[in-house]
Structure formats: structure tokens, C-alpha cells
Amino acid sequence: MRRVNYSALTLTVAVALSILKPGCGLAQPAPPEIPADAYIVADLRTGRILAEKNPDEALIPASLTKIMTLYVLFDEIKEGRVSLTDDVEISERAWSTQGSKMFVLVGSKVKLEDLVKGITVASGNDACVAVAEHVAGSVESFVARMNEKAKALGLTKTHFVDPHGLSEENRMSPRDFFTLARAYLREHPEAKQFHSIKEFRYTPPGEHEIVLLSYNKLLWSYPGCYGLKTGHISAAGFNIGATCERDGFDVIAMVMGAAKGKPREIGETERADLAATLLDYAYRNFAYVKVAEPGREMGKARVWKGRGKYATAVAPYEIGATVARGKEGVLTHSVVFRKDLVAPVRAGTLLGEVAFSVEGQEVGRAPLVAKEDVPKGNFLRVIWDSLARALLKAFGRA
């Protein structure tokens, strides 16, 4: 029978994960006051939002846009259509792009891997245009792919008009960015290494070496920080999506619209401080509890009309729950299976969920998927199960 690679689960299941809002029925520590248009601090693994302000307001993302650019690029790499070793020819359009730059030269050829570093470290707008043209043939075609991806992820408050975030017409809500970041990091864990780079040295052909430093000050100052992206244009203010992992607790602090009108150095420092305050809040008041490793069997789901009667349910990746500190020992979980499973069922199909609770209050959910294929059964099995289901439905038991 066909087996599924659980560490590379399909996007459909990844975006089907529930995102729990603050509180979840339990007493919640008062969140800090954050002087910004909006923010979210949340557990990246479980999707539980720990505190928020205006999470669904469509704001100007500035260079946070580049996470979608990288997402589309890494999708293309995974599909084998482009490679990090590709030589990318730099067009005049890429070279002439304004704002933060990697300083690529028109007519030169740059390794795609270096362009990725130019985006993650230096927030290079020129590198974004070069990537867009290399992947899709034109910036316009690439942006269309970005918006298609946003729709597939269910990002309802998001719209892109460029691949770098220079335009004031780009829009994204904090909740949408959180959803985007979770899916991006889960689908492409290999991208994390690029976001944690503090310094990148790049030498354009015939020129002196350029030292590019990350705009994310937390990479130097906040232990465990590994990314993810900063952004700034005047109309947006100073934005940041800061990711940090400590003792298996993977947190994102997302701030949008901070330090508006302030000089760049002050604004960059202030947004870093605000993100650090939110990360402190998360680590001081909450903890992550691991329940199952990837591939762990979590029960069997009834499959109708199948060659076998049951499908083995497994965790598609590490699953667990976010709980208030001091409540780690009272976390419980229960498994709820779908009742509409009809063969054929393919490996990786969503079979049900694990529901996590603390003292009777739900604090999170995680999906369970089929370990292997369950082919359609023979004629007698199909007829028998059809009759059995009809009887159960008649008595309200299915």
C-alpha cells in the first residue's frame, strides 16, 4: 500500500488546522500594551493565538510581502522547476528597483541561492524582481501566482500588487500573515536557515564586496530568534514578524504599524522592542506540551465500502497543545473521527482530529491522517456496507 511522507503533508491539511483565539475559555493573563496599529502573538505549532489587537484589519504589509514571494519560490524549487543553483540573469527592471537593495547589477548572473539571501537578509527589492522574472517570466505573472496562493491559503484580507512590498496598495491582516507564516514554515522548513542569517557578503561582478546586515535586530539580541521578516515604508510604519523557538515552544510575534513617522533607526529599534515584549509575554505565561511524534498511531477510523474496515490514523507531524504555565500536567486529549469515510481512502487523507483540553476547556486541535491507502472493497463489501449505513442512518446513528 502507498505510504505518505508525513513531514511533507499536503497544503490542504496544513491550512485546515484550527486557529484558536485568545482565552479559549480559560483565564488569560492580561496582554501588554503595544503602541501599534495591530499585533498577534501566537504559537506557530498549534495555531493558538495568545494575544491580539485588530488581527483582521487589512494593513500595508511593506516587506512582509516577501514571505509570499519566498513561499511561491520554494514551491517551485520543491516541484523541481527551478533550483537554488540556477544562474539568474538580472534585468534592467530588477536592477533599477528602488528601496532596500541587494545591489545586483544589470546583465550580471546571480545564483538563485544568493538572491534568496539577498531577500531574507537585506530585504532586497531588486532580488525580488529577479526571482519573479526567473520563476514566472514577468513580475505581473508572478504576482498573479502570489494572489492565487493567498486564495488557496484562505487569506481573505490579503492582496498583492508587487513581489517586494513597495506599493501602498498591498494589503494583509495580521491574522493572514500568521496563517501565511505557519504554512510557509511547515511546508518549507528548509527556508528557516535563510531567515536566521545575520550577515551576508555579496560581491557583484567587477565590484568590491558588499556586507549586507539583517534588519531584524532580534537575531542579535533575543535568544532563540530565527526570523522571520521585517518591513517598512512610510505609509505602513514599522512591521515585524518575529519568530523564536525555546524548549520546543515556537512563537511568532507580529507587529504592524508601529513607530509611524519616526526616523528609521528609532523605528527599527522600537518594533524590535515591541516584538520582544510580546515574545516575553508568551514565554512567561505559556508552554508547549508535545503529545505525539510524527507518524504516531492514534487509533483507527471506520471506513465504509473498503477492502479493510478501518484506516489507521497517525499524527502528520509533531502535535501538541499550548497551555498556561503550571497546567502542563493536566492536559488531556481525545480523538474524534469523521463518520463519512468511504473507500477508496488514500494515505494522507484527513480522518479526524485530536482535541486537547485543560480542566474541561478546549485549548487546541490537531489533524489525524490515514497511514496507508484503503482500497475499495469487492462487490459484496460495497453492498453490505451500503445496507448497513442505510440502517444506521434510519436509526440516527450515522
Domains present along the chain, CATH in parentheses: 22-286 (3.40.710.10), 293-394 (2.60.410.10)
Q: Which residue of the set 91, 100, 117, 123 is catalytic?
A: 123
pLDDT digits (tens, 9 = 90+) for 270-317: 999 999 999 999 999 999 999 999 999 999 999 989 898 999 999 999
- Residue 27: phi, psi to the nearest 5? -60, 135
Mean pLDDT, to the nearest integer, of 23-50? 87
Q: State the pLDDT at residue 28.
A: 73
| 123 labelled catalytic | yes
The CA distance from 151 to 159, in Å, is 9
The CA distance from 280 to 90, in Å, is 42
- State the Cα angle at 68 between 63 and 73, rounded to 5°: 115
pLDDT digits (tens, 9 = 90+) for 342-351: 999 999 999 9
Give me the sign of the Cα torsion angle 41, 42, 44, 47: negative
Q: Left, alpha or beta for 113 (phi > 0: left; psi -120 to 50: alpha)?
A: alpha
pLDDT digits (tens, 9 = 90+) for 153-197: 999 999 999 999 999 999 999 999 999 999 999 999 999 999 999
Mean pLDDT, to the nearest integer, of 22-32? 69
Q: State the pLDDT at residue 309.
A: 92
Mean pLDDT, to the nearest integer, of 11-33? 60
Q: What is the pTM of this model?
A: 0.90
Task: Give the up-direction half-sphere exposure of residue 388: CA atoms within 13 A in the CB hemisphere.
Answer: 12
